[in-house]
Amino acid sequence: MSNNNSPELHVEVVNGKEVCLAYTDVNQEYQVIREEVGLLDFSFTTKLKVSGDRAADFLQQLITKDLDFLSEEQTLTCLLLEEDGSLVGEVTIYVLQDSYLLDVWPSFAEDVKAYLSKKVEGSSEVEMEDITSHTGTFLLEGPKSWKVVQEFLPISVQVIPFQNFSYFEYMGKELIIARIGYSAEYGYKVIGDKDVVNKLNQELLDMEFSDINVQRVGLNSLEICRLEVRFPNLSRELDPNQQLLELGINWLIDFNKDFPGKEKLMESLENGLEKRAVCFISEGLDIKPKDKIVVDGETIGYIQHTLYSPSVNNYVGIAYLNIEYAAAGFSFLLENGNTIKSVSSPIVQAKSLSIRME
């Protein structure tokens, strides 16, 4: 079964890029991701191609993870930092045969592009090209998405490990299929020539599946899912007034290698973190970012990011708490009288964890 009704778009412009937030009802689109297959146009992210004889060395000295151990057809998500330890942006790197593809979220795109352009300036051995305008991308996310991918993939979908990709041909063009997602459900990204990718996108919506609902979904439903499983959304969860490491994203950083800002991060660890980000479930509906969390009349933290979770039937989110309070299993009072409970992640278990590909 396929849902290909004319969408009623809810669009937001982020740094000049149009991002579809919802086509219909956000809660219904959320259920599609958690139960079936959501198809999300991901062409709003910026694609940068880095090539040249010293492209690997160039990226290796700038990023917070180790690129040296990656082979072709692998991906790496990492950070770019200023020397003062502040965030430039988050990037996902695809290791191609003779170059690197960088996928950048709209909220970081301008800063990342300017940062890399300045670093590459004057080099005859490294080139950077913005290929966004002629590159298409869509995401298939949901417990049945692997079945849909198998319909157009000439190899078994099972041979693509998480955070890896493969090449396949469609309409005479070579495209990328990457096993990479945001909701802890099975997720796959298709990247390549814009016209060809858009053609495949529409073909999947037009296909009739007897036991699968493939439906367009917007970014809002995906952001609920990623919050539920604590897949960090740095553009919303990172408070520029807080230390980067207080968000608990150490897995994006390899302290065994050098990178800009490393000394500042090490210094913040040595001095001790003042706050820590924790997941929470609200016990009331009156909640919004920047709401203060109090204990005995003293402010000990605040709400940073919160969204309504259909699975929990209430608001969930990320709060910053003073380090001595930053643990799961405690109830806290907000200044407005509402109560939240700190919890471990994931807040919601993905259905895909109990489904084996056949």
pLDDT in tens, 164-213: 999 999 999 999 999 999 999 999 999 999 999 999 999 999 998 989 99
DSSP 7: P
In sequence order, what are the beta bridge partners of 173? 170
Give the pLDDT score at 1.
Answer: 46
Residue 352 has pLDDT above 90, yes or no: yes
How high does pLDDT run on average in the chain?
94
Residue 260's alpha-carbon distances to 60, 61, 71, 84, in angstroms, are: 11, 8, 24, 8
- Tell me: the pLDDT tens digits for 45-58? 999 999 999 999 99
Mean pLDDT of 240-245: 89
According to the model, what pLDDT value does residue 186 have?
98
* Mean predicted confidence (pLDDT) in 101-127: 95
Q: Which of 89-103, 239-253, 339-353 has the lowest mean pLDDT?
A: 239-253
Q: Is the pLDDT of residue 128 over 90?
A: yes
The percent helix, strand, coil of the chain (3-state, each to 5) is 25, 35, 40
Express each pLDDT in 55-80 by its tens digit.
Answer: 999 999 999 999 999 999 999 999 99
Q: Which two tokens stand for residue 224?
A: 């609920």
Q: Where is pLDDT greater, at 15 or 214? A: 214
Domains of the chain (ranges; CATH) run: 1-271 (3.30.1360.120), 274-358 (2.40.30.110)
pLDDT band at residue 235 under the 50/70/90 scheme: very high
| Residue 6: pLDDT over 70 | no
What percent of the chain stands above pLDDT 90?
Answer: 90
Specify the pTM: 0.94
